[in-house]
A and B are shown apart, each in its own frame.
Chain A
Amino acid sequence: MFKFGASGLLLLTLALTPPAALAERVFVSNEKDNTISVIDADRLEVIETIRVGRRPRSMAFSNNGEWLFVAVGDDEAIDIIDLETLQVRSRQASGPDPEVIRVDPNRPYIYVSNEDDNIVTVLDYERRSRVARIPVGVEPEGVALSPDGKWLVNTTETSNMAHFIDTETFEVVHNVLVDARPRHAEFTKDGSEVWVSAEIGATVSVIDMEDFRIKQTIDFDVRGVPRETVQAVGVELTSDGRYAFVALGPSNRVAVVDQQSYEVLDYILVGQRVWHLALNGDETRLFTTNGVSGDVTVIDVESRRALKSIPVGRFPWGVVVSP
């Protein structure tokens, strides 16, 4: 089989594109393969597979843009990948079962949710030391940082709470009860809201950062799909305040939500058990990890259509796009 003229045109375009424009790479953690798949964001092909520690899940970039941190849960550590060589250069202990990590935009800190310990650990990746251990609810999972770095939000799956932590004092200041099994938290670009997804509740709670109250709860109902398979997990918000994307787990759909009216606009079919999401630099494309089908679906943001699904390793979990 071959593509008609369009593919030739695409190849020509690629050939004429300066190398710097090809730099955008998508990193996908394969939970069961202990690898990170690297996808060329333009060609939409896997270009490299990096071997890392056991059970890689959440990933985050260092502030200098040189390293990629990977939480390797079964090794109780953070593997540090050199983005130049695409190899693990070092490892830092993280405490038990690290699941979600985020990097402080102002300091060389990594925030780690230790699922088995009911703790959020703060690590200094430059000094290779532990800065703090913050007790939170039961089974901490989602971690989000406000754009100004002042607030850290952590969701706890069994306590069904979003904990608001002051990043100066490392103390929990507010707790907000959300729906069952909160998985993920994400701030809007202006930092005025934080969106918290609930897996079993199949909702997203939008929390106002002025008064730490839920100002809106978004429900998801995919026609023709059993209710129990609709599980809200990953959330990604466009910085222009237009769309929110919510991964709906085993319903194999990504919901498109209007960030202003909170109305669900669309459901996009992707691979099986869609888990986490990431937008590319100019926010024209959204990448989804589909755990059970072992692939990444690429969605065109403007047309809200799935373009392609790219096979990666077994049980892809997290996804980040290189800056």
Chain B
Amino acid sequence: MMPAGYLQCLRGILWRELLRFVHQRSRFVAALVRPLVWLLVFAAGFRMALGVAMTEPYQTYILYEVYIVPGLVGMIQLFNGMQSSLSMVYDREMGSMRVLLVSPFPRWYLLICKLLAGTGVSIVQVYAFLAIAYAYGIQAPLLGYLYVLPALIVTGLMVGSLGLLLSSFIRQLENFAGVMNFVIFPMFFISSALYPLWRLRESSQIVYQLAALNPFTYAVELIRFALYEQLHGQAALITLSVTAVLLALAILGYNPARGMMTRKTGAGAEA
């Protein structure tokens, strides 16, 4: 296959994802409303909670609403990643996935294209959210908005890979509620998205340890530091490694010879 063909394939998948996103305006609004409610309502009520402590990478004291922004950026990407997985299940149910899978390109490539497309959409959502937060008065250094882009790509790929892996397990759309309860909520709440790790440690050692093991914590910290023009080496390493492992598992999961697809198709046929 010629490299130009690969590029065209990537362009096609990206375009489809973007079109789907543009046509689902309610999805865009929902993707923004969710973090905005957290920012304008939840964080406003707690604005004093962190005003008395200094946490890296911040150089001085910050309000809670400033602290929570990178966590909410992570949340946007987390929901988007899961929504992508939901769309995979939908595509499979509706049969449109066949169109994708009969493509002559290798499956791993198609999956990576799908991931990149999902990540691209999540980045559009993130920048829209950051723009609103900026107008609201939560302003990071201007260069930070540029430095955060690679962090957003890595985080988008990580949660996207997770979504992809999950979608290889989920048989029906209805099961998505389970994903919400057992994946999104624990990942988001038991992380440094809402409170710094030292604060979690003050209240519960178990929650602290779970949060310290949660890869989403490192994704959020990667975003947080990048937004303030710093590179968190450990967070970058962990996020990249977890992305690689999840992606490998997802590709394996979609492998017709070895993965979950075969078993599921079989199971589906029996049902």
Contacts and interface: CB of A to CB of B under 8 A. Distances in A.
Interface stretch (A14-22, A60-68, A306-314): A306-314
Contacts of A271: 60-61
Given A6-B143, A6-B229, A224-B48, A1 B57 contact: yes
Interface string A275-316: 000000000000000000101011000000011110000000
B56 interface: yes
A269 interface: yes
A293 B61 CA distance: 10
User: Contact size class for B?
Assistant: 20 to 34
Which of B57, B61, B225, B230 has the most A CB atoms < 10 Å from its CB?
B61
A294 B141 CA distance: 26
B54 interface: yes
B231 A309 contact: no
Contacts of A307: 59-60
A156 to B, nearest CB: 32
B237 to A, nearest CB: 13
A6 B141 CA distance: 11
Contacts of B60: 269-271, 297-298, 306-309
Contact of B61 (A2, A4, A225, A297): A297
Nearest to A305: B139
A269 B61 contact: yes
A160 interface: no
Interface residues of A, number: 20
A154 interface: no
A269 B59 CA distance: 12
B61 A270 contact: yes
A40 B59 CA distance: 16
Which of B52, B57, B232 has the most A CB atoms < 10 Å from its CB?
B52
A297 B51 CA distance: 13
B86 to A, nearest CB: 36
Contact of B62 (A3, A6, A269, A272): A269
Interface in A227-272: 252, 269-272
Contacts of B51: 252, 269
Nearest to B45: A224
Contact of B230 (A4, A269, A309): A4
Given A307-B59, A309-B61, A224 B229 contact: no
Nearest to B62: A269
A270 B147 CA distance: 26
B63 interface: yes
The interface residues of chain B, by DSSP majority, are classed as loop
A306 B59 CA distance: 9
Nearest to A272: B52
Contact of A1 (B48, B143, B231): B231
A179 B107 CA distance: 76
Which of B51, B52, B56, B143 has the most A CB atoms < 10 Å from its CB?
B51
A1 B147 CA distance: 14
B47 interface: yes
A306 B61 contact: yes
A306 B63 CA distance: 12
A285 to B, nearest CB: 13
B181 to A, nearest CB: 33
A298 B57 CA distance: 16
Contacts of A308: 59-60
Nearest to A309: B60
B104 interface: no
Contacts of A306: 60-61
B233 interface: yes
A295 B54 CA distance: 11
B12 to A, nearest CB: 35
A297 B52 CA distance: 13
B218 to A, nearest CB: 14
A2 B61 CA distance: 20
A272 B54 CA distance: 11
Given A252-B52, A269-B51, A1 B63 contact: no
B54 A2 contact: no
A301 to B, nearest CB: 15
A251 B63 CA distance: 13
A319 to B, nearest CB: 16
Contacts of B56: 1
Nearest to A292: B52
Interface in B112-150: 141, 143, 147
Interface of B: 47-48, 51-52, 54, 56-57, 59-63, 141, 143, 147, 225, 229-233
14 contacts: A1-B56, A1-B57, A1-B225, A2-B231, A4-B230, A224-B47, A269-B51, A269-B62, A271-B61, A293-B52, A293-B61, A298-B60, A308-B59, A308-B60
